[in-house]
């Protein structure tokens, strides 16, 4: 088995220039002198304490302050984690989906507050007339999480192949558990409906929508949508439930009809570019950006597809875009302080405890305020 490797590298070259088709919105990353030593020390401490395996990136705006990778991307093949290793992002995919939807809203193709039957006339009319995209994307719809229940009852559901319309009929058309907008319930089934709507009005499959509306304009060359087992994606890490005493694979396939719920993969440098492009760049109109980041369910800090939290970082309360995700052996964290662009990305493929990863992210983000 390969021994863990710790290395710190400057990622400015990774995030450098964009093609002409991307110039309108892709953030131009500045070259900076790396100061990775304190960040590497934090990562090494967490590696020794609980076996962290993955990559972290710390940045401010377009500047990469440090990029630290440690461990194995593929234990069986003996491949180390690098800056370019791709990871599943789990439910961070929902925030990506919300961004794609807001691009369609910007173009006047969608309204967040229209009944969904405007876009899916075959959806059951009694509930469809009460449901909106805003309800679905904030998990306040009342649509029960039937897809999660089905996968738990029959693991073969994870490998089913069906149309989006059939998936909505089977797993996202149940009786509402509560009146839309009155409660919060985290339901993957919401995103089956949102995906059906986006594909209907966008006129193309969701993976192509992501390319055209997000990864292409932002120059995210290491990011995209997968279906099934993500191992088919070149350069992808493998997910593990444990690496010691021997690697134990942990795979949770994502069928194509669940792509919005959990099918986005990315690299650490791409996620910094994503945070910059969406939260400070021209990818979205100012109104669409405000809508994306406006909390809909205050008790859960939930906006559309992700959270906005105020946390004490480096001794000061700071409003933060707060994105987490997990699937199989993968764990993903992305944070960005909205006022000044201080950011941290943590990607893990060995089922690390999310609380411990969050603590490491907090330490790294605090360290970014310690420098000049």
Which phi and psi angles does 282 have, rounded to 5°?
A: -90, 15
Angle (nearest 5°) at CA 344 between 341 and 322: 80
From CA 348, how far away is CA 305, in angstroms rounded? Answer: 21
Please say if the pLDDT value at position 19 is more than 90: no
pLDDT tens by residue, 176-230: 999 999 999 999 999 999 999 999 999 999 999 999 999 999 999 999 999 999 9
pTM: 0.92
- CATH 3.20.20.105 for domain 6-88+262-367: no
pLDDT tens by residue, 43-89: 999 999 999 999 999 999 989 999 999 999 999 999 999 999 999 99
pLDDT, position 37: 87
From CA 53, how far away is CA 42, in angstroms rounded? Answer: 13
- Domain residue spans in the chain? 6-88+262-367
Contact 35, 63 (CB under 8 A): no
Identify the weakest region by mean pLDDT among 22-31, 53-62, 111-120, 164-173: 22-31
pLDDT tens by residue, 261-293: 999 999 999 999 999 999 999 999 999 999 999
């Amino acid at each position: 088995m390969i021994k863990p490797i710790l290395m710190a590298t400057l990622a400015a070259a990774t995030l450098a220039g964009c093609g002409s088709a991307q110039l309108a919105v892709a953030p131009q990353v500045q070259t900076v002198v790396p100061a990775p030593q304190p960040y590497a020390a934090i990562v090494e401490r967490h590696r020794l304490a609980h076996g962290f395996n993955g990559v972290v990136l710390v940045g401010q705006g377009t500047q990469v302050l440090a990029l630290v990778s440690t461990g194995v991307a593929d234990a069986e093949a003996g491949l180390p984690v690098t800056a370019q290793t791709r990871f599943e992002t789990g439910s961070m995919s929902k925030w990506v989906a919300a961004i794609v939807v807001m691009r369609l809203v910007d173009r006047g193709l969608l309204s967040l507050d229209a009944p969904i039957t405007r876009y899916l006339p075959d959806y059951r009319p009694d509930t469809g007339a009460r449901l909106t995209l805003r309800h679905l994307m904030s998990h306040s719809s009342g649509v029960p999480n039937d897809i999660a229940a089905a996968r738990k009852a029959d693991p073969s559901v994870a490998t089913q192949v069906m149309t989006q319309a059939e998936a909505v009929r089977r797993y996202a058309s149940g009786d509402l558990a509560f009146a839309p907008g009155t409660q919060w319930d985290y339901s993957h089934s919401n995103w089956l409906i949102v995906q059906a709507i986006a594909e209907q009005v966008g006129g193309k499959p969701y993976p192509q929508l992501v390319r055209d509306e997000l990864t292409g304009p932002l120059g995210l060359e290491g990011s995209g949508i997968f279906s099934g087992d993500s191992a088919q994606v070149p350069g992808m890490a493998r997910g593990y439930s444990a690496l010691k005493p021997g690697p134990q694979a942990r795979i949770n396939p994502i069928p194509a009809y669940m792509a919005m719920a959990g099918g986005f993969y990315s690299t650490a440098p791409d996620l910094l570019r994503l945070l910059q492009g969406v939260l400070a760049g021209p990818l979205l109109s100012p109104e669409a950006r405000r809508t994306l980041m406006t909390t809909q369910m205050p008790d859960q800090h939930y906006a559309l597809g992700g959270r906005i939290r105020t946390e004490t970082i480096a001794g000061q309360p700071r409003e933060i875009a707060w994105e987490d995700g997990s699937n199989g052996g993968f764990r993903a964290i992305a944070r960005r302080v909205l006022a000044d662009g201080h950011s941290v990305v943590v990607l893990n493929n060995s089922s690390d405890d999310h609380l411990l990863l969050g603590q490491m992210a907090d330490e790294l983000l605090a360290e970014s305020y310690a420098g000049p």
